[in-house]
């Protein structure tokens, strides 16, 4: 049943593209300066949901209902209906017919109250207003620092109940900011908020890459005046220098079992792809060419690696077995295709293609090899998939400023993420926390 709705929604979004009359509208929706860029018309494929102000929201350090609304809308699958300031807790049954009249299919209520030990008790209940049914609820007892996480968990609960798919709102992202001469590697919530610094450096940091278990970040640092690769334990701050060979060391990418890192090393002349144990050691060369080979990325079954090579004269994306071997070309349109990333469900390839000088995010459906450009911006970089394969995060320049964006796979719904000050780039989306 659940699968039905999700595949239906996926297919429908794509079909609807052919009939969309495209216009772009900008909304400022919260004080956090997060705004959404919506392609109008797609609203009719979204599930209309109303989220009441939670009882106690007005005096809570975090407005839980706002965070839930932002999360659900960012997924592109929900359209939040204005409740006109209605406050309702999880104990009372709503007036189903009045919500049905507003064309609302689901209604979320809740409350936040202070416990004797100083923590906050955050509760919710979800209603199916069409059938008049209680779909259940949640309660979270949290310290103030975890209020946003409680809201994300509630948004996950709503998303999973109504779509049957795994939700990503309480996952984490990493990204880099650069301000003045200083670079900062941040770990943040999936909405870009609540960022905590994992690394500060006077030299650039690029290519952060989450380990599959979400505890480590691999990245490239220029702090020793050449690019080297670290594996960094985020909780303890301890890090290992995993690649400091002669020449440049870069493009770390984890195998799905977390045991191996693919890397680009120039130690033998030219940028070439190697595999190294995540604990360190001697690298094994995976491919051999007289050209640039770089940006290796594993498929989620761990069996293949996609990578960039200009062995054909200009950068294109290829696929080879994860242990190395014969490479097959994957991209055939245009003369510059880089930054391949695969969706965890194995169905999609995101990449950046240069078209008439502009660098644009494209998505390929691997089964059909159909390719679609999904952005209007011209300086897109570094795409990555949400762990449920439903959203892509990427860096771009939006209205003259560096920004991180998320988009649905068909490009129909985009949001700019909140983030720390400075030029913001190099996002990587972590996996589901185990």
Partner 1 sequence: MIFKEYAMKNFLLVTTAVLFLSACGSSVKLDEVKVEDKTVTTPIVAAPETLPTPTPAPAALVAPVNTGSVSVRPVESVTADSPNSLSALGPQTTVPAISEPTAVQLPEAKVVTPEIQDAKQAAPEIVLPEPSATAPIVYFDYDSFEVRPEFQALIEVHATKINANKTTRVMIEGHTDERGGREYNLALGQKRAESVRQVLKLLGVVDSQMEAVSFGKEKPVSTGTSEDSMAKNRRAVINYR
206 binds partner 1 (CB under 8 A): yes
335 binds partner 1 (CB under 8 A): yes
359 binds partner 1 (CB under 8 A): yes
Q: Which of 38, 73, 295, 410 binds partner 1 (CB under 8 A)?
A: 295
Site for partner 1 in 230-269 (CB under 8 A): 232, 234-237, 239, 246-248, 250-251, 264, 266, 269
State the DSSP string of 43-111. GGGSEEEEEPBPBTGGGSSS-HHHHHHHHHHHTTSEEEEP-TT-B--TTSPP-HHHHHHTT-SEEEEEE
State the Cα angle at 195 between 404 and 205, rounded to 5°: 65
181 binds partner 1 (CB under 8 A): yes
Q: Which of 75, 194, 316, 412 binds partner 1 (CB under 8 A)?
A: 194
CA distances from 280 to 56, 147, 427, 430 (A): 51, 38, 24, 22
Residue 180 C-beta: closest distance to partner 1, Å:
8
Residue 284 C-beta: closest distance to partner 1, Å:
20
Residue 285 C-beta: closest distance to partner 1, Å:
16
222 binds partner 1 (CB under 8 A): yes
Contact map string, positions 142 to 161, toward partner 1, x by CB under 8 A? xx-xx-xxx--x---x---x
Contact at 8 Å (CB) between 157 and 124? yes
**Helix or strand or coil: residue 96?**
helix
Work out the burial of residue 413: count CB atoms within 10 Å of its CB; fewer than 13 is exposed, 13-18 middle, 19 or more buried.
Answer: buried
Residue 383 C-beta: closest distance to partner 1, Å:
10
Residue 199 C-beta: closest distance to partner 1, Å:
5
User: Which residues make beta-bridge pairs with 275?
Assistant: 262, 284
Residue whose token pair is 């990245």: 219
Q: Which two three-digit tokens encode residue 356?
A: 């008439």
Site for partner 1 in 80-109 (CB under 8 A): 90-91, 93, 105-106
Closest CA to 215 of 232, 196, 193, 190: 232
Q: Which of 22, 26, 44, 115 binds partner 1 (CB under 8 A)?
A: 44
**Rounded Cα gap, residues 111 and 197, in angstroms:** 32
Contact at 8 Å (CB) between 361 and 410? no
Q: Of the ranges 13-21, 81-89, 254-262, 362-370, which one interacts with partner 1 (CB under 8 A)?
A: 13-21
Closest CA to 68 of 29, 101, 99: 29
Total number of residues that touch partner 1 (CB under 8 A): 115
38 binds partner 1 (CB under 8 A): no
Residue 169 C-beta: closest distance to partner 1, Å:
12
Q: Of the ranges 12-20, 53-61, 66-74, 342-350, which one interacts with partner 1 (CB under 8 A)?
A: 12-20
285 binds partner 1 (CB under 8 A): no
Site for partner 1 in 105-134 (CB under 8 A): 105-106, 123, 125, 128, 130-131, 133-134
Closest CA to 272 of 327, 348, 346: 327
Q: Of the ranges 65-73, 277-285, 308-316, 405-413, which one interacts with partner 1 (CB under 8 A)?
A: 308-316
Closest CA to 380 of 425, 335, 343: 425
């Amino acid at each position: 049943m659940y699968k039905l709705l999700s595949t239906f929604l996926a297919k429908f979004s794509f079909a609807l593209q052919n009939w969309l009359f495209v216009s772009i509208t900008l909304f400022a929706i919260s004080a956090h300066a997060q705004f959404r860029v919506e392609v109008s018309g797609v609203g009719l494929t979204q599930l209309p949901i109303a989220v009441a102000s939670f009882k106690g929201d007005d005096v809570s350090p975090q407005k839980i209902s706002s965070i839930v609304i932002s999360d659900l809308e960012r997924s592109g699958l929900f359209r939040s209906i204005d409740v006109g300031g209605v406050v309702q807790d999880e104990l009372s049954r709503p007036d189903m017919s009045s919500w049905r009249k507003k064309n609302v299919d689901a209604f979320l209520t809740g409350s936040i109250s202070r416990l004797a030990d100083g923590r906050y008790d955050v509760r919710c209940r979800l209603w199916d207003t069409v059938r008049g049914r209680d779909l259940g609820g949640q309660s979270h007892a949290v310290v103030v620092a975890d209020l946003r996480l409680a809201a994300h968990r509630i948004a996950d609960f709503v998303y999973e109940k109504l779509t049957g798919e795994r939700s990503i709102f309480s996952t984490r992202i990493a990204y880099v900011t650069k301000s003045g001469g200083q670079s900062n590697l941040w770990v943040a919530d999936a909405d870009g908020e609540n960022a905590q610094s994992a690394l500060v450096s006077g030299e650039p940091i690029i290519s952060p890459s989450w380990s599959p278990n979400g505890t480590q970040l691999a990245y490239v640092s220029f702090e020793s005046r050449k690019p080297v690769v670290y594996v960094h334990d985020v909780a303890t701050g301890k890090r290992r220098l995993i690649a400091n060979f002669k020449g440049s060391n870069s493009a770390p990418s984890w195998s799905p079992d977390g045991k191996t890192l693919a890397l680009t090393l120039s130690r033998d002349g030219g940028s070439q792809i190697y595999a190294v144990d995540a604990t360190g050691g001697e690298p094994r060369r995976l491919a051999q060419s007289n050209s640039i080979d770089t940006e290796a990325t594993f498929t989620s079954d761990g069996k293949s690696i996609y990578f960039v090579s200009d062995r054909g004269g200009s950068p294109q994306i290829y696929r080879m077995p994860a242990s190395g071997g014969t490479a097959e070309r994957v991209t055939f349109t245009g003369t510059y295709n880089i930054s391949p990333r695969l969706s965890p469900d194995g169905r999609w390839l995101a990449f950046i293609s240069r078209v008439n000088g502009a660098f644009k995010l494209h998505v390929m459906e691997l089964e059909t090899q159909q390719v679609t450009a999904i952005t209007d911006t011209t300086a897109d970089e570094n795409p990555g998939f949400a762990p449920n394969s439903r959203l892509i995060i990427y860096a771009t320049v939006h209205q003259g400023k560096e920004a991180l964006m998320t988009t649905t796979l068909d490009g129909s719904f985009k949001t700019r993420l909140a983030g720390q000050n400075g030029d913001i780039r190099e996002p990587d989306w972590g996996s589901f926390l185990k």
